[in-house]
Amino acid sequence: MPIKILIFSPQSRMKELLESRRLQLDVELDSVDNLDALAHRVAETHPDIIWIYACPQQTLSSLDSYSPYLHKLPTPVVLAYENITLEEGNQLLAASFSDVISLENASDDTFNRSFRLLSKISHKNAELNTLRHTDLLTSLQNRASFYTRLQQDLDRIHVDSGALALFSLDIDNFKAFNQRMGYTAGDQLLLDLKNRILNCAQNFPVFRTAGDEFFIIITGLSFETTKEAANHLLETMTSLLFASFNIAEQDNVIGISIGVTFSSESRASIDALTNQANQARCRAKRVHGCSFSIYEPEKDVVPVNDGLLESDIWTALKQKQFELYYQPRVDLHSGEIVGAEALMRWNHPLRGLIMPDDFIPVSEHTGQIIPMGFWAIFQSGRDLKTIKEAGFSLSKLSVNLSFRQFQDDHLAQTIHRIIEKEKIDTRILEFELTESALFSDDLHVQSSIGELSKIGIDFSLDDFGTGYSSFALLQKLPISALKIDRSFVAKLPESSDDAEIVRAIINLAHNLNMGVVAEGVETKAQLEFLIQNGCDQVQGYFFSPPVQLEKFMKMLKTH
């Protein structure tokens, strides 16, 4: 590669002079004749060396006045002079020049040496500069470039009255993954994820700003075009990012959370905007089964007690502060209680009874739902024994399984162990899954379900109708019942839309040879609608809210 030299000289003499030298180097010469042009040309062509020719009339102080300009340039600058003393030359050398060469005395060799050395320095500088802006692992741009670029884009949309979308993205429980699989696997995961993100983001700049934190910036000419591009990116991401990652010869289901925020005014500071995207991402993590969310000022207030709860949950597990309540499941053909759903409660020593909506999302976020979920299975097994010993029989006892529990590679194995140890009757045990657990359409989820179903455990699909369901998957997986989400039951029988949906779900379940359970039945009218339309079982306050084991057994007795 030729050494690119940019000559700054008011006269053409310098170029001729260089051309007349017998340089043993391959050089490419270019020249400008004023300081403004110099800065522009440097930015455009990235020369390796700048040569400044001081003509005999120039005074030392006039050369000094170049300093503020030269300091800003990333390129080594050589001064060629004819009539200043060596001492003056040295002074200039110390100021802003990388080399000062006397044209009268310099041999061809001096030129060669200076060029060679300075071009090396120049390349090293360029390398360092790239390094300063690059993340070493992924070769993506780093945090420093992210801030620079975001500021530039914000300034620009201010001028062009355009808009900007900022995506913040990270891996759920990356720390736990590293601990479980090792740091090499962690690096591999980051690299695989980077490739997928680049695949999705195509022409938009992608940054890795810290550990597992990535950002993408989309800018558009108007708010509409930006929003369209952002929606399109979200769509591709939800289909490409969530497939399992094959790392260390193992399929790993990895949760990824995405937060998005929009700005159409440059008054938003880069910090404010970054915070908004991060808060939206945290909400995506908090909300059950959600993988992305768009910033909304009202919703993205960080819950103040998140931190407190996380350490409290460990204490709660140790000190047995969790308790299972049971809500009866009533069969509509016989009118009998045929089963129950186990629902977790937290007896907090200071705060009293805490409901699952206040601690399950946090525990899913932190991964603590994994041991809590095992505890629920263990405890329901114990309670089932108590029920049996009191002389009652149940045909189904269901326990909720969070989508997060499927990220545990030992899920099926551990459940198996609990069942053996506690001698739980697997014909009675049922796991309630949400569609979000299945949605990842992942072999890992399917194989865990398959393994558990082999030992006789039934599965039902919870909150049915609120998520995505793939019909192919419904047929393929061993699901024995659909639970109609209580939001559809609430407005029965008045809402004709909901009535239609409920009828359709009942038919679908029966066509697939599955049972169907309606949740949240509170009124007689709802119950009658469900009976008339062939629903099999119901759960709801109309019969009973979830109650403590003892009370549940009393209900079994009196029923």
Applying CB under 5 A, the residues found at the interface with Ca ion are 400, 432, 462-463, 519
CB of 323 to ligand C2E, least distance (A): 10
Residue type for 488, please? Answer: F
The interface partner of residue 205, options being Ca ion, ligand C2E, none and the CB cut-off 5 to 8 Å by kind, is: none
98 versus 400: smaller Cβ distance to ligand C2E: 400
Quick one: which of 10, 205, 356, 493 contacts ligand C2E (CB under 6 A)? Answer: 356
| From 24-32, 219-227, 295-303, 354-362, span contacting ligand C2E (CB under 6 A) | 354-362
Kind and range of the H or E run holding 64: helix 60-64
Say how far apart CA 97 and CA 53 lie, in whole Å: 12
CB of 407 to Ca ion, least distance (A): 19
| From 106-114, 130-138, 239-247, 515-523, span contacting ligand C2E (CB under 6 A) | 515-523
183 versus 541: smaller Cβ distance to ligand C2E: 541
CB of 393 to ligand C2E, least distance (A): 23
274 versus 400: smaller Cβ distance to ligand C2E: 400
Integer CA distances (angstroms), 516 to 128, 241, 325, 506, 556, in order: 65, 33, 22, 6, 22
Q: Is 430 in the site for ligand C2E (CB under 6 A)?
A: no
Contact 397, 342 (CB under 8 A): yes
Residue type for 285, please? Answer: K
Binding mask 469-498 for ligand C2E (x = CB under 6 A): -----------------x------------
Say how far apart CA 254 and CA 241 lie, in whole Å: 9
CB of 327 to Ca ion, least distance (A): 9
The interface partner of residue 98, options being Ca ion, ligand C2E, none and the CB cut-off 5 to 8 Å by kind, is: none
> Which of 22-25's residues contact partners 24+ apart within 8 Å by CB, and which partners?
22/108, 23/108, 23/111, 23/112, 23/115, 24/108, 24/112, 25/112, 25/115, 25/116
115 versus 459: smaller Cβ distance to Ca ion: 459
Say how far apart CA 265 and CA 130 lie, in whole Å: 30
Say how far apart CA 438 and CA 441 lie, in whole Å: 6
Question: In angstroms, how far is CA 408 from the centroid of its own chain?
Answer: 19
The interface partner of residue 362, options being ligand C2E, Ca ion, none and the CB cut-off 5 to 8 Å by kind, is: none
Quick one: which of 360, 506, 518, 538 contacts ligand C2E (CB under 6 A)? Answer: 360
The 3-class secondary structure across 274-306, one letter per residue, is HHHHHHHHHHHHHCCCCCEEECCCCCCCCCCCH
Say how far apart CA 269 and CA 50 lie, in whole Å: 37
The residues that touch ligand C2E, with contacts defined as CB under 6 A, are: 327, 343-344, 355-357, 360, 369, 373, 376, 400-402, 432, 462-463, 486, 519-522, 539-541, 546
